[in-house]
Chain A
Amino acid sequence: MKTYFIIIHLVVCNIIIANFFSPTAHSSAQQIKVGSKKFTESVILGEIVTHLIKSTGEQPVYLRELGGTRVLWNALIKGEIDIYPEYSGTISEEILSGEGVYSEEDIRQALAKHGIKMTNPLGFNNTYAIGMKEEVSERLKIGKISDLRQHPDLKFGFGNEFMDRGDGWPTLRNDYHLPQQNVRGLDHDLAYRGLEKGTIHAIDIYSTDAKVRYYNLRILKDDLNHFPAYNAVILYRADLEERAPHVITVLKKLESKIPESEMIKMNSRANLDMVSESQIASDFLSESFSLETETYEETTIGRLLRHTGEHLFLVAISLSAAIIISIPLGILSAKMPGLGQVILGIVGIIQTIPSLALLVFMIPLLGIGGPPAIMALFLYSLLPIVRNTYTGFQDIRPQIRESAEALGLPPGARLRLVELPMVSRSILAGIKTSAVINVGTATLGALIGAGGYGQLILTGIRLDNMSLILQGAVPAAVLALIAQGCFEILERLFVPKGLRLKPAC
């Protein structure tokens, strides 16, 4: 009986927490949603667009740092977002790769088939390039990409997106016949540090990247013209022209208004001077358009509370759902061995899917933001609870099982009065494991726009800001410990005393 109370108690608590902290305001369908990728330049452009739209009286939602190209593009197609900054080269080589569209006109026509439109170029060309430390390239006499052929032992570290995009490493290697074998994919922001430490010798960079100057990098000349132009543009849904024509009008104001020098300056302010992207965008609009906009600076505490709310929201919903589903699944597995093997097999396989992959699988089904992250976390939380429930039942001694039967208790009463109380400890232990895994894995939710502590960690990595990383990592660890502590208290309250006693000698 008590076991039911625990479960109901947990679920009710979680739902209360979830409702209390529910982060997203009930966004109406009419609200305009701006997205950006998870690198600084995209975040700044997103801020500029958001500020501009605000100046028309709209109240847009800005979903910053949602992820890579695929995530943003899919979100745009599905209407999860209406607008995001993109680059012409990325559209040709990545989004529409294989369609052979290179001229601006071809691109426009191809995009129109997806119900997407784009502005004219904003003014700067942020092409891909290969960069090396100035000293290293000087010593090895490397000035152009083709010079790399003479140095097969060099180690390359490329951003994960660059590793497999249409104009990325595979075609670069073919075009230049590069012999290097030691090539690793890693997070772009971490690549700079590898370069600084000397563990890698060349990385992919963006030509407007603030860190080029900061780390004193040499940009190797693309002597075979491998990289296409990456003119910044803004993509938006075609239906926006009817829904909010005035928004399109202000977007077009940005055309040819952001030269390369301006973009590098803005990137530097964000990455090196630690100015907030919102402030940078506001300053730019004030200088270039004499447009005064309000910037909203969140306090450290306010931000921590918001991320805590988002994190708890993800954990509470996904864990509650997992508890409700897993315990019956575990009981079923124990009672029907054939079905049990299938159930345990499936939840076991789910656990082996890498968390990042699982998150991305969810995007086509559930879009971006909270729902796919909650679904992924829910799936991850199943195994420990199902398995612990199942083993708990298996561990009930046959004498106990038969004694309950021999008393004349019907199956339902045996489950309620004898079996469930006896496995309560095992079930709680499973829930505890799930909760700790869940809190940790929820940090990855930020990769698909679900927010939470992971957002602070991601932004911290992007800005190379250790304090920000810790502001995300430490609360996440503390939350995991608190969750564990809570379940230990629950165990004391709900596991029958007789099961907690040590046998007398």
Chain B
Amino acid sequence: MIQIQGVSKTYGQAAALHSIDLTIPAGQTTVFIGQSGCGKSTILRLIIGLIQADSGSVYFEGTRVTPDVVTSLRRKMGYVIQEGGLFPHLTAYDNVALMARYLGWSDERIKGRLNELSELTHFPSEGLERFSVQLSGGQQQRVSLMRALMLDPDVLLLDEPLGALDPMIRADLQVDLKRIFQALGKTVVLVTHDIAEAGFFGDVITLLKDGRVLQKGTLEELIQSPADPFVTRFINAQRSPLDVMRKDSK
């Protein structure tokens, strides 16, 4: 589905990615995890063409992502960011419908698609006429997800979609998201710094450090056979309170 071949990217002096090679298979949920600044968001931004690689290339469904073709490729991708991505001057409905309207969809078709999506994402239909400032953080992310799914894209790119939410809302939305991914059977690329979230969603987890792939595998593999002491340190740093209690009681 997506091939990343020998891609390097630097921001000023700081290197974000060092000659990365990756293949993202279709129909699976691929999770990128790592500390802040490890380059995980950069990968998503390269795929959707918001930034260009310094060297190497990114292929989407066999087409190389270049500025010339990126606009049409983007319509086959859905992109959700952590927060603040909704257009404040438009209602939730208009946010979701914006691109479809631009492409000339009929009003009925748009309405029908929105009904499907609000059911799928458990978004209350009366909330569609609200503006983003009138929605809670969780509702805003559901609208962002609907907007990303509107054109029924081949791939869904999510950049810490739950990162700015309260823990309980986050837990609810995690469950909903997983259900949606399973229902749609789409290729999903998700970026997070939360190892539990990575394990919850990911068929394959890729751990990045300083712009390099440190290890790729299931959560199980990362815990059982770490490729590097950093993998264990990274996982242990996020032990949940329950794990801590269990260990202490031994």
Contacts and interface: CB of A to CB of B under 8 A. Distances in A.
A409 B87 contact: no
Contact of A407 (B84, B89, B99): B99
A447 B222 CA distance: 83
Q: Categorize the interface residue count of chain A.
A: 20 to 34
A350 interface: no
Given A400-B87, A501-B134, A405 B102 contact: no
A502 B131 CA distance: 11
Interface in B166-217: none
A399 B72 CA distance: 20
A399 B84 CA distance: 6
Interface string A401-421: 011111111100100011001
A399 B81 CA distance: 8
Nearest to A400: B87
A503 interface: yes
B88 A403 contact: no
B75 A408 contact: yes
Interface in A372-402: 397, 399-400, 402
A25 interface: no
A503 B75 contact: no
A444 interface: no
Nearest to B86: A403
Contacts of A417: 98, 102
Given A399-B84, A408-B75, A501 B133 contact: yes
B48 A422 contact: no
B50 A403 contact: no
Contact of B71 (A397, A408, A418): A408
A406 B150 CA distance: 13
Interface residues of B, number: 27
A194 interface: no
A113 interface: no
Contacts, number: 71
Contact of A496 (B74, B89, B134): B89
A337 interface: no
A406 B87 contact: no
Contacts of A400: 84-85, 87-88
A302 interface: no
Given A400-B87, A422-B87, A498-B88, A407 B147 contact: yes
A503 B71 CA distance: 32
B132 A498 contact: yes
Interface in B53-107: 71-75, 77, 79, 81, 83-91, 98-99, 102
Nearest to A399: B84
A410 B71 CA distance: 7
A422 B89 contact: yes
A504 B88 CA distance: 13
Contacts of A504: 133-134
Interface in B98-149: 98-99, 102, 131-134, 147
Contact of A503 (B77, B87, B90, B133): B133
Given A399-B81, A501-B134, A409 B102 contact: yes
B82 to A, nearest CB: 8
Nearest to A504: B134
Contacts of B74: 405-408
A469 to B, nearest CB: 46
A247 to B, nearest CB: 64
Contact of B89 (A402, A403, A408, A499): A499
A478 to B, nearest CB: 34
A473 B102 CA distance: 51
Nearest to A398: B84
Interface string A482-505: 000000000000001111011110
A498 B89 contact: yes
A499 B88 contact: yes
A409 B86 contact: no
A502 B79 contact: no
Contacts of B79: 403, 406-407
Contacts of B72: 408
Contacts of B71: 408-410
Nearest to A401: B50
Contacts of B81: 399, 402-403
B131 A413 contact: no
A399 B132 CA distance: 14
Contacts of A422: 87-89
A406 B48 contact: yes
A417 B133 CA distance: 19
Contact of A405 (B50, B83, B132): B50
Given A399-B81, A400-B84, A504-B133, A498 B99 contact: no
B102 A498 contact: no
B114 to A, nearest CB: 16
* Residue in A406, A413, A503, A504 with the greatest tally of chain B CB atoms within 10 Å: A406
Contacts of B134: 501, 504
A501 B90 CA distance: 12
A398 to B, nearest CB: 9
A406 B172 CA distance: 27
A113 B197 CA distance: 92
Contacts of B98: 407, 409, 417
Nearest to B90: A498
A407 B102 CA distance: 11
A442 to B, nearest CB: 34
Contacts of A421: 89
B77 to A, nearest CB: 8
Nearest to B48: A406
Contact of B50 (A406, A410, A418, A503): A406
Interface of B: 48, 50, 71-75, 77, 79, 81, 83-91, 98-99, 102, 131-134, 147
24 contacts: A397-B84, A399-B81, A399-B84, A399-B85, A400-B84, A400-B87, A400-B88, A402-B81, A403-B86, A403-B87, A406-B48, A407-B79, A407-B147, A408-B71, A408-B72, A408-B73, A409-B98, A410-B71, A417-B102, A418-B87, A418-B89, A422-B88, A498-B89, A502-B133
Given A406-B50, A407-B147, A501-B133, 15 more contacts: A397-B84, A399-B81, A400-B87, A400-B88, A403-B86, A405-B74, A406-B48, A408-B72, A408-B99, A413-B102, A498-B90, A498-B131, A498-B132, A502-B133, A504-B134
The 9 closest A-B pairs by CB, nearest first: A408-B74, A498-B131, A496-B89, A408-B75, A406-B79, A399-B84, A403-B85, A503-B133, A421-B89
